[in-house]
Chain A
Amino acid sequence: MATYNIKVNGKMHKVEADADTPILWVLRDHLNLVGTKYGCGIAQCGACTIHVNGDAARSCSIPISSIAEKEITTIEGLSDIVRHPIQDAWREHDVPQCGYCQAGQMMSASSLIKQHPNPTDDQIDTAMRGNICRCATYKRIKSAIKTATK
C-alpha cells in the first residue's frame, strides 16, 4: 500500500491503495464516485471512460501509480450544473435506455468534440467505437453528438 494524492474533478484527494489499483476502482470504492462504470476491465467496452488531462481514457486500465500530477475528470465533474453541451444533447435526444454505458459514452463524446468541434461521421464512428451500448442506442448517440456540435 502507498499513499497517493490525486486530482479528481478539480479537488485533491489522498488515497491509500496498492500501486496497481486501477483508477476505476479508486473512483468507485475509495472516492464514492460511482458514475464511472465497470464493464469489462480490459479497455474493450468504454463504460469506465474518464478524461485524463482532458482526453478520453479507460480508467479500468490505468493504475493509480501512473497518474501522478495528471488531472482526472469524471462524469460527475463534466459540468457542475449538468449543462455540458454533450449532456444537453443527451437530454434533448433522451438517449439512454438502461443508461449504464452512458456516462462512458458522454465522456468519449465530450473528448471527441473538444478535438473535433465539427466531427465527420467517420470521426464520430472512430471515436465512439470503443464504447459498447448493449441496448444499442447508437443512433441517438450519434444524433446527440451532432446536436451538440451544431
Chain B
Amino acid sequence: MNSSNKHTIKRRSFLKKSILSGGGLILGFNFYNCEADVEIAKKAIPSLEIPEKWNELNAFLKIGNNGVVTIMSPNPEIGQNIKTSMPMIVAEELEVDWKNVLVEQASLNTDWYKRQVAGGSQSIRQGWESLRKVGATAKQMLVQTAANRWSLSLNECKAQNGIVSNIMNEETLTYAELAEEASKLEAPKEVKLKDPADFKIIGQAKKNVDIEPLLSGKPLFGIDTKKEGMVYAVISRPPGFGMKLSSLDDSEAKKVNGVIDIFKFEDSQSDLRGIMNEKVAVIANSTWSAMKARKALKLSWVKSDAVENTSDHDAGLNKLLQERQKEPRRNDGDIDKAFAEADIVLEKIYEAPFLPHNCLEPMNFYADITGDKAEVLGPVQTPQWARIRLAKLLDRPETDITVGMTRMGGGFGRRLFGDFVIEAAQLSQKVNKPVQLIFSREDDMVSGTYRPASKYRIKAGVKNGEVTAYHLTEACVNGNMYDNITNFFPAGAIPNMRIDTNSLESNISTGAWRAPYTNFLAFAEQSFFDELAKEMGKDEIDLRLELFEKAKSNADAGYEYDPEKSIAVTKLALEKAKWGKARAGISQGFCMYYSHNTHVAEIADVAIEDGQAVVKKITCAIHCGIVVNPLGAINQVEGGIIDGIGHAMYGDLSFEDGKPSANNFHQYRLIRMGEQPEIEVHFVPSKEDPTGLGEPSLPPAGGAIANAIFKATGKRLYKQPFVKEDALLG
C-alpha cells in the first residue's frame, strides 16, 4: 500500500498528465480507458459528473470532490471477471455505494501492487485480505478525519454509504468533503475488517464493469490499440517444430501496397518457447497489407532438429508409463506388498492429446521502443514476467519500462507466455516506430504453448472389500504434474499409494492450459473409480464416501483437499440432481474433483437421441468459500463446465513432421451453440475466505460425462477426444 509522499506526488502528477495527454502510450491508455469507464458510470448514475478534483487515498483508490470513487483493478482481466470482483472487495470495506464506483485498469506497478498475474485461479484468493485492507485503511482515514473535525474518537463515528456520521448526534460528513484532508493522513498500520455477516456488496450480483463498452463495441482489447505513428506487423514463423528458414524471396511481397519493411530476425531469448528460430517480419501500414504481403513471401523451411510425430510421442509415453522413478513423487506404505496380497487388481490407461488454447483474440501486442521510450501495452497474463524479459532484451532497468494492460480476449494459460511481447519490442526497436504485432489465427494455432499430450496408468488393489493400493503413473510431454497435485484425492484415503511421473522431452513448446494436468487427470481418476466400484460390486458413490471418511480419520496423511467439503459437494450434487431417481431415458454419471483450492461435484445426465449420446444436463455443486459476485461466479462455473465438455469431446491436436494437425477452426472443433447442456450451479453456503473459481469447474466435466456415457451405452471411455472413440458420440 502506498502512503509515502513520494508515491503520492508521483501518482498525482501521473493522473494529471493522464487527463492532459491523450497521445502518450500508457497515460493515453489510462485516459482512454477512463472514457469508457465514465460511460459505464453514466449509465448507472445519469447525473454523474467527472469530479474536478480527485483525492487519492492510496494506490488503489481516489475519491472525487463530488463523491465519485475510482477503484483500480490491479490484475489482468482475461474474462474471469476480476475487474469487477476485485474492486467490489475494496468497495465493501471502504463503505461506499457500488453505484458511485468507477473501475480503472491498473498498469504494472510492482511498488504498489502485488502479484499482478492472471493464473491458477488465484487473483481473488490471494488478493482477498489485502484488497479488504486497502478499503478498510482508506475508510479509517476518512473516519479519522471526521473524528478530528468533531473532536471525537474513532469509535464515536460510523461510516456507511460514503458518509461518516457522528453517532452522538445527527452530524454527517461525506467522503467527498473529507477526502482531501484524509489523503494527507498517514495510513493506519492496523485496521479492523468487517464481519462477513455485514457484507453489502460482496455476495450481491453485480454486472461486469465493462458491460457498456462491450455492448457498444468500444475499444477495450489489445488488438484494438491505435496510436499515432503506429505500424502493423505480422511474423512468419516456422510451420513446424524442428524447422528453420532456408530461403526467403520477398520480391513479390514488397510490391504489396502499404508494405514498409520485410526482414529476418531471431528470437533474442532462446528459452521463450523452448526454441530458437529465425523468423520473417512484415511491417505495413495496415493489418491487411501486412497479412497480404506475408502470403506473398516465398519461404522455404528445412529441418534443423528432430521433427516429431504423434506416433513417436505415443510410443515414448507408453514406454514411460511402465517406468518407475528412483524417487517417486509420493510413496505411502508399500504398494507392491499390497498388490501382491490383493483380491482384485484393476489397471487402466487413459490418454489425452495436445491442445491449443485458441483464445478468440489472437496473440498481439503493442510496443513503442523508440528513442528513450520503452512502452508496451496489451494482453498478457504475466506483465511482470514480460517486463523482466524486456529489461534483458533492451538492456535497460525495469524501472524504465512501462507495461500497460488491456482487457484480454481469453487467456487459458497461453498468455502466461509473453513471447509476443518480446517479439513486438524487437520489431519496434528494429523499425524505430511504434508497432502493433498481430498473430493470424494460423500463427496462433501453430505457434502455441500447447497443453502437452499425456497418459495416465492407474492401478488399484482391493483386499476384503477395501481399496488397499493405488498406483498412478503419469507420462507427459515436457514435464509433469505440480507437486501439490500429488496431495489430491485419493491421498490419505488409501494406505498404500504411489505416484510416479515421467517426462518425454520434446521440442514442441508446451505450457499451462486451463486447470493444468487436472483438466485431464480428473477424468482419468474419476472414471477409474467408477470402474473400480463396479469391479468391487459397490455403489460408486458409496465407494467415494467411504474413501472420504477414511481420509478424515487419517488427517496426518499429507493431503491438500478437505474430505468434509468433498462430502458436502457430493451430497449437495446428489440431492440437486435427484441422483438414483431414474427418469426414462436418462443415465447419470458422477465426478468429484478438488483443484485450485475449490471442491466441485458434477453430475451429468446423458440420453441417447437418434443413436447419439447427448449430454442433457450438468448439475454442479461447488464449495469456493464466500462467493464475491454470484452473477460472475455462475458464469465462470458454467463456462468451465462447457469448456470441459467441449475439450473432452472434441479437443484434438496431433503432430506430423513437427507440424500441428490443425491451423484454423475449419480443422479444429470447438464446442458451439446447441452443444451445451442445461446447467444448474449450487454453491455450498460458506463464510470462509474465497478460493479459486476460474478453473475448478472444468476438470470434473469430462469425468461426469464419461461415467454417464458408460451407463447409457455400456462403453468405457479411456481416450480423449471422446468423439473419436465412439460412433455414438460422432
Contact = CB atoms under 8 A, between A and B. Distances in A.
A32 to B, nearest CB: 6
A42 B216 CA distance: 24
B492 interface: no
A106 B217 CA distance: 10
Contacts of A12: none
Contacts of B205: 94
A55 interface: no
Contacts of B359: 98, 100, 134
A29 B219 CA distance: 13
A18 B293 CA distance: 12
A36 B217 contact: yes
A86 B226 CA distance: 28
Interface in A79-105: 82, 87, 90-91, 94, 96-103
A45 B286 contact: no
Contact of A97 (B288, B639, B641, B666): B639
Interface in B647-699: 664-666, 670-676, 678-679
B74 to A, nearest CB: 18
A18 B673 contact: no
Interface stretch (B109-117, B178-186, B407-415, B427-435): B407-415
Nearest to B221: A100
A28 B670 contact: no
Contacts of A39: 360-362, 441
Number of contact residues on B: which range applies? 35 or more
B292 to A, nearest CB: 7
B210 interface: yes
A132 B410 contact: no
Contact of B215 (A1, A38, A87, A97): A87
A61 B257 CA distance: 19
Among B257, B289, B665, the most chain A Cβ lie within 10 Å of the Cβ of: B665
A98 B287 contact: no
B642 interface: yes
Contacts of B639: 97, 135-137
B215 A82 contact: yes
B211 interface: yes
A47 interface: yes
B310 to A, nearest CB: 24
A44 B666 contact: yes
A77 to B, nearest CB: 9
A37 to B, nearest CB: 7
A139 B631 contact: no
Given A29-B286, A76-B217, A94-B207, A42 B636 contact: no
B410 A100 contact: yes
B212 interface: yes
Given A22-B288, A29-B287, A134-B410, A96 B214 contact: yes
Nearest to A20: B292
B211 A94 contact: yes
A85 to B, nearest CB: 12
B673 A142 contact: yes
A41 B670 contact: no
Nearest to A145: B673
A44 B218 CA distance: 23
A95 to B, nearest CB: 8
Contacts of B441: 39-42, 45
B253 to A, nearest CB: 14
Nearest to A80: B216
B362 A38 contact: yes
A97 B79 contact: yes
B119 to A, nearest CB: 15
Contacts of A101: 360, 409
Contacts of A74: 217
Contact of B360 (A17, A33, A45, A94): A45
A139 B679 contact: yes
Among A36, A42, A100, A106, the most chain B Cβ lie within 10 Å of the Cβ of: A100
A98 B672 contact: no
A31 to B, nearest CB: 11
A37 B223 contact: yes
Contacts of A134: 358-360, 409-410, 412, 643, 670
A29 B635 contact: no
A82 B665 contact: no
Contacts of A6: none
B81 interface: yes
A70 to B, nearest CB: 19
Contact of B673 (A35, A40, A141): A141
B676 A139 contact: yes
Contact of B664 (A44, A100, A124): A44
A34 interface: yes
B288 A21 contact: yes
Contacts of A1: 257
Contacts of A125: 673-674
B506 interface: no
A128 interface: yes
A91 B288 contact: no
Given A41-B440, A99-B210, A100-B221, 14 more contacts: A21-B286, A21-B288, A22-B288, A25-B286, A36-B217, A41-B441, A44-B665, A91-B207, A96-B211, A97-B636, A98-B407, A129-B673, A135-B79, A136-B646
Interface of A: 1, 17-18, 20-22, 25, 28-30, 32-42, 44-45, 47, 74-76, 82, 87, 90-91, 94, 96-103, 106, 121, 124-126, 128-129, 131-142
4 interchain residue pairs of minimum CB distance: A35-B217, A98-B79, A100-B409, A125-B674
Interface of B: 77-81, 205, 207-208, 210-212, 214-221, 223-224, 226, 232, 257, 286-289, 291-292, 358-362, 407-412, 438, 440-441, 631-632, 635-636, 638-643, 646, 664-666, 670-676, 678-679
21 contacts: A34-B219, A39-B362, A40-B664, A41-B440, A75-B216, A75-B217, A91-B207, A91-B215, A94-B635, A97-B81, A97-B635, A97-B639, A98-B407, A98-B408, A99-B208, A128-B672, A129-B673, A132-B670, A136-B642, A137-B635, A142-B673
